[in-house]
Amino acid sequence: MNKSGGMALLWNNEANILEVQGTAFTIEVKVEDQEKKESWWLIGIYASCDSQVRRGQWEVLNRRKVGWGDKWIIIGDFNDIISNDEKWGGRRRDNRSFHDFRKFINENQLLDVGYIGKPWTWSNNWYGNGEIKERLDRGLCSMKWSQCYEDAKRRGNRIQKLKKSSGNWTATDEELGKEVADYYGELFKSSGLEGLDDILEGIPVSITEQMNRDLTKEVEEDEIKTAFFSMEPNKAPGSDGMSPLFFQKFWSIIKQDLKAKMGKQLTGVKISRGAPAITHLFFADDSLVFCRANRQEAGKLMNILKVYEKATGQLINMDKSSVFFSKNTTQAVFGYIRNAIDKKLQSWKNKLLSQAGKEVMLKAVAMAMPTYTMSCFRLSSKMCRDISAKMADYWWGRQKERKGCIGLAGER
């Protein structure tokens, strides 16, 4: 603009332009959509390189939007970015420098229409370490404009037709789907197995079918009992610190635990790679039981405790009992919380809510979902960061195909 550049807006006969306006940094045209029988405003912008001037330009746009109605899109060179994620090379900008542009986007609840191709639109044309690239150009639209043309954007991302192997093109969605299915069906089809018997013929059979059935069948309770009661009661304790006398005397109580261990229903824990697995440790009046953090082993452990209660008449005091998880199991055990919150957020993304509406949904629903679990267990800081990041992505509207706004608290 000024003395070094200018703006021009060109259109062909197919476009129906009802009105043209403008300022020193914008060209504004009212477009009639004859197919939808609606009209909307297209604003082309060339913002100033000076941050102080740009601040005034955002105020001008805020005043002029009254005449554009609720359907409008503004495209062009904004000469600004919303975060350092849209800048490659050079010094990182202070987060406060993004405030004016973010404020303009947030106050008008504008949506980024995305892009195709390279993520940057401007470069200083240097090479090596001095090169700087930024996404200065973009398209921002109002909520109503996005709703009006969302179907059109979806159609643009669809595969319209495919060329068949015969050279013809698919004409219907059914033909298109069949072509895709046939292609991948042929791609992953097995060519068949031949000569396998010849390969195995020279390998001698060492284990018969009967031997294999005997070796792989489940261990029965009588077999475990026979093994323990055939031991000398006062032999040296095993890896768990208990002599055979303990198991023989309290067999009726601990047999369920032992059977679960032998049947690999309780995995236990190893202190080193070659060490035996430990499923339990007994102290004077405390017991530690180890198992994997999954539904099957947790259910088996609860069953063992119920058998113990019935056999001894002693009840487990849950108020004095605790559950501990190793660091590498937190994501797997409590992942359902993150998945449930993510599922909710994904369903909300289809609803075009205002910032106030998003705030209500986040505070009243998403933030309440992990409350009960957090009252019983201490979630890891990584899990909390993951949940916070997902809610932040929803709040600022970040998706894979585009970046969103990031808020920063500060004083004026």
Identify whether the C-beta of residue 296 lies closer than 8 Å to the C-beta of residue 265.
Answer: yes
The pTM score is 0.41
CA-closest candidate to residue 352, choices 146, 68, 105: 146
Q: Is 81 found in the same domain as 175?
A: no
152, 167: one domain: no
Is 208 among the domain residues? no
Residue 366 lies in a domain: yes
Report the CATH number at residue 80.
3.60.10.10
Residues 343 and 392 in one domain: yes
> Looking at the structure, do residues 113 and 224 belong to the same domain, yes or no?
no
**What is the number of other CB atoms lying within 10 angstroms of the CB of residue 187?**
7
- Same domain, residue pair 307 and 349: no
4 part of a folded domain: no
Structure letter (DSSP) for residue 169: B
Among 266, 298, 324, residue at a domain's last position: 324
Q: Are 278 and 240 in contact (CB under 8 A)?
A: yes
Rounded to the nearest angstrom, the gap between the alpha carbon of residue 30 and the centroid of all alpha carbons in its chain is: 40
Give all strands (DSSP E) within 189-265, no chain letters: none
Count: domains in the chain: 4
Domain closes at, from 265, 295, 324: 324
Please check whether residues 234 and 353 belong to one and the same domain. Answer: no
* Domain boundary, last residue among 265, 294, 324: 324
Question: To which H or E segment does residue 31 belong?
Answer: strand 26-33
Q: What is the pLDDT of residue 1?
A: 44
So what's the pLDDT on residue 271? 74
Two structure tokens written together for 277: 């697995």
Q: How far apart are CA 374 and CA 367, in angstroms?
A: 11
| Residue 304 belongs to some domain of the structure | yes
335 and 377 fall within a common domain: yes
118: left (phi over 0), alpha (psi -120 to 50) or beta: beta
Task: Tell me what pLDDT residue 104 has.
Answer: 94
Whether 257 and 351 map to the same domain: the answer is no
Same domain, 311 and 337: no
Instruction: Assess if residue 347 is contained within a domain.
Output: yes
Residue 391's domain spans which residues?
Answer: 331-396
Cα dihedral angle (59, 64, 70, 72), rounded to 10 degrees? -90
Q: What does the pLDDT read at residue 410?
A: 57
User: Is residue 79 in some structural domain?
Assistant: yes
- The Cα 128–Cα 173 span in angstroms is 48
Domain match, 90 and 42 both: yes
21 and 130 fall within a common domain: yes
Report yes or no on 98 lying in a domain: yes
Give 148's contacts (C-beta < 8 A, 6+ positions apart): 36, 38, 40, 71
Residue 94, class by beta-carbon neighbours within 10 Å (0-12 exposed, 13-18 middle, 19+ buried)?
A: exposed
Task: Judge whether 363 lies within some domain.
Answer: yes
Task: Write the DSSP symbol of residue 97.
Answer: G
Distance CA(349)–CA(18), nearest Å, equals 34
**27 and 65 housed in the same domain:** yes
pLDDT along the chain (412 residues), means of 10: 68 90 93 89 94 94 93 94 92 92 93 87 87 94 88 64 82 86 80 62 76 79 80 72 76 69 68 74 77 80 77 73 70 71 77 77 80 73 81 70 51 54
> How far are the Cα atoms of 62, 79, 82, 100, 136 from residue 49, in angstroms, in the given order?
19, 6, 15, 13, 10
